[in-house]
Amino acid sequence: MSNSGKTENTASTMVDLIKTMQEAGLKSMPFQGTDWLTAMADISSEVMNFTAARLKEDVNTQQALMQAKGLVEIQHIHAEFFQKTMDDYAAETAKLMRMGQTLTPAAKDTAKDKG
């Protein structure tokens, strides 16, 4: 089979899938406009930035552990790392939840009522 036939077959399969989904009632959601896409991009960016920051913390901790002079210092480094990790993840979860509230129409309406 040539690549052209494979591409046409894949496209036909995708068209059939979309048609089936539409017939099953999966329609485009009206609130998924540019505001929704912008919010999703912001959330994705936030997750990537958080992941990069946490990886940097991991590297810093590994360097500190390699330079530690004794068991007490290692335990202290581990305890600080664990506490900071828990604090960072709790703060990030709260931030992502606030960001996620802008994604649904009901949340927007509730926020308008409160504001």
Share of residues in the chain with pLDDT > 90 (%) = 49
Helices (H), ranges, 1-115: 3-23, 34-67, 71-100, 105-114
- pTM comes to 0.62
| The pLDDT value given to residue 1 | 47
Asked if residue 51 and residue 99 are part of one domain, the reply reads: yes
Asked if residue 70 and residue 26 are part of one domain, the reply reads: no
Tokens of residue 86, six digits: 């828990």
Task: For residues 8-22, give the mean pLDDT.
Answer: 73
Asked if residue 82 and residue 106 are part of one domain, the reply reads: yes
Asked if residue 24 and residue 8 are part of one domain, the reply reads: yes
Q: What is the total count of domains within the chain?
A: 2
Asked if residue 79 and residue 104 are part of one domain, the reply reads: yes
Q: What is the span of the domain harbouring residue 26?
A: 1-30
Distances (CA, A) of 89 to 83, 86, 110: 10, 5, 26
